[in-house]
Structure 1
Amino acid sequence: MFREMRRKKQMLSLEECVAVLDNGTSGVLAVDGDNDYPYAVPLSYVYCDSKIFFHCARSGHKLDAIARNEKVSFCVIEADQVMPQEYTTYFRSVIVFGKARVLEDDMEKRMALEILAAKYTPDDERGRMQEIDKLFGQVSMIELTIEHMTGKEAIELVRMKP
């Protein structure tokens, strides 16, 4: 169903892919957009229990696209060091394929929102809970269930490994 990576030497292990997702702070969600155009949008996210969660407004392009087609992809770039003298970049990235759904249950939605908020404000539980309470009715939470995930890094980074 999903293509195999051609450059297997550069493939990240599952553990390395998870580390990229855990450490990343933003990624790009790609959906089936309007008029047969792909729509890719950068967003903040959290990876938890083999799923990715992100928030958005209660209406908009992203939600319309997901309602039409739940299949999405999501990409996170951890490293992108330009090496002009070598005519390359030292990169490390992960791409995820899966199905997205809007969390309708308030308990599910709140749990996902709390996990997301904790990632970005780990030292201010009281403040983040106040913000969640204030904006809970205005936000949607999306859960991306991962069906396939691959990661890749520059061959130069592979060669640097012990």
Structure 2
Amino acid sequence: MFRDMRRKDQVLSREECLAVLDRGTSGVLAVHGDDGYPYAVPLSYAYEDGKLWFHCARTGHKLDAILRDPKVTFCVVDRDQVVPLEYTTYFRSVILFGKARVLEDPAEVRAALEKLALRYAPEDSEAHREAILERELPAVVVVEVAVEHLSGKEAIELVRSRHALEL
């Protein structure tokens, strides 16, 4: 169902893909937008055990698109070093494909928001985090993406330098 990567020598392992998702602080969500146009939007996320979560407003292009067609892709760029004299970039990125669903169960919504809060404000006090969650709960929608396919790729130069270090 999902295509194999053409450049197999540049494929990241599953563990490396998960490390990229863990290191990343933002990614780009792509959905089937209005009038057949793709719609891609950067957002913050949390990822754990094959699921990705993000929040959004109760109305808008992104939510409308997800409700119309739950198939989405999400990309995180881990490295993007421009190398002008080589006319290239040393890149590393991960893309995932999955199906999005709007969480309805208040316990699921709260759990996902707590994951997001802990990811982006791990030093915050529990009391302050709870106060923020209570304030924001009525205003947000939380979306969960069940990941169906995950792949990553890096520049051949990064592959070579990693292999050189292993020798």
Shorter-chain TM-score range = over 0.9
* 1:117 shift after superposition: 0.8
Q: Say whether 1:120 aligns with 2:120.
A: yes
* 1:24 shift after superposition: 0.2
| Residues 23-63 of structure 1 deviation map (CA, whole Å, 9 limit, x = unaligned) | 10000000000011000000000111111100001111111
What amino acid sits opposite 1:109 in the alignment? Answer: V
In structure 2, distance between residues paired with 1:116 and 1:139: 13
In structure 2, distance between residues paired with 1:112 and 1:144: 11
Moved more, 129-138 or 21-30: 129-138
In structure 2, distance between residues paired with 1:36 and 1:127: 42
The two structures have a TM-score, normalised by structure 1, of 0.98
Structure 1: stretches of 5+ with no match in the other structure: none
What amino acid sits opposite 1:147 in the alignment? Answer: E
Q: Could you tell me which residue of structure 1 aligns to residue 100 of structure 2?
A: 100
In structure 1, distance between residues paired with 2:128 and 2:48: 22
In structure 2, distance between residues paired with 1:85 and 1:18: 31
Secondary structure of the equivalent of 1:104?
Answer: coil
Q: Aligned Cα RMSD in Å?
A: 0.7
Q: Say whether 1:138 aligns with 2:155.
A: no
Q: Say whether 1:44 aligns with 2:67.
A: no
What amino acid sits opposite 1:14 in the alignment? Answer: R
In structure 2, distance between residues paired with 1:65 and 1:75: 17
What is the 5 A alignment of 1:1-162? 1-125=1-125, 126-161=127-162, 162=166
* 1:127 shift after superposition: 2.3
| Residues 58-116 of structure 1 deviation map (CA, whole Å, 9 limit, x = unaligned) | 11111110111010000000000011111111100000000000000000000000001
Secondary structure of the equivalent of 2:122?
Answer: coil
* 1:128 shift after superposition: 2.2
Secondary structure of the equivalent of 2:6?
Answer: coil
How many residues end up aligned between the 2 structures?
A: 162
